[in-house]
């Protein structure tokens, strides 16, 4: 389950799905994440696999930093947090960054990808078989991320006890 409130919009003209995080006031500038899905992170399966794979490696501690984006936002992730920075914002502009827990970002990315492949498969933009392969992979990764989240939570709780 995702910690932040969101809505899902389906843009028929462009055959795309938008996960709108701008409605959750506890996530400052959540719209930056929404803007990145589809522009900084492309919706093809190979790109999704690479992006999610790198972020899972990060959560596991196998790498310490992952950077991406560049079309709309710069995206920097470490094991704890992911920061989105609007590349078109003025230097003194306050609404130019968004910080979210990396675990939550991965869940949002998985949700967006799943909705995206289901939608495109239903509309005939991609073959149903291609959509099914993507959905099965995404479901496996979602389970993996949930297990990782539980491990991270246990580790954080142990740190609090010490």
Q: Nearest 5°: phi and psi at 74?
A: -90, 135
Whether 76 and 100 have beta carbons less than 8 Å apart is answered as: no
What is the DSSP code (8-state) at residue 37?
B
Residue 11: is its pLDDT beyond 80?
A: yes
**Rounded distance, CA 37 to CA 86, Å?**
13
137 pLDDT above the threshold of 70: yes
Predicted pLDDT at 162: 66
Residue 43 pLDDT exceeds 80: yes
Closest CA to 56 of 113, 117, 104, 103: 103
Q: What percent of the chain has pLDDT over 90?
A: 75
pTM of the predicted model, to two decimals?
Answer: 0.92
The Cα–Cα gap between 98 and 96 comes to: 7
Q: How confident is the model at residue 61 (pLDDT cuts 50, 70, 90)?
A: very high
How much is the mean pLDDT over the chain? 92
Please give the Cα distance from 104 to 158 (Å, whole number): 21
Q: In 74-125, which ranges are continuous DSSP H helix? A: 102-122
pLDDT for 67 equals 95
State yes or no: pLDDT of 142 exceeds 70.
yes
Strands across the sheet containing 97-101: 66-69, 73-77, 81-86, 97-101
Alpha-carbon span 157 to 82, nearest angstrom: 21
């Amino acid at each position: 389950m995702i910690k932040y409130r969101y809505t899902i919009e389906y843009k028929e003209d462009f055959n795309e799905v938008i996960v709108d995080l701008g409605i959750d006031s506890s996530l400052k500038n959540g719209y930056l994440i929404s803007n990145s899905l589809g522009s900084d992170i492309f919706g093809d399966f190979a790109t999704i696999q690479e992006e999610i794979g790198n972020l899972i490696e990060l959560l596991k501690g196998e790498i310490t930093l992952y950077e991406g984006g560049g079309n709309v936002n710069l995206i920097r992730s470490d094991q704890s947090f992911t920061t989105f920075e609007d590349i078109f914002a003025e230097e003194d502009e306050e609404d130019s960054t968004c910080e979210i827990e990396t675990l939550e970002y991965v869940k949002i990315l998985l949700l967006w990808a799943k909705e995206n492949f289901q939608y495109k498969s239903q509309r005939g933009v991609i073959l149903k078989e291609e959509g099914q392969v993507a959905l099965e992979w995404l479901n496996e990764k979602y389970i993996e991320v949930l297990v990782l989240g539980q491990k991270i939570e246990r580790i954080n709780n142990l740190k609090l006890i010490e």
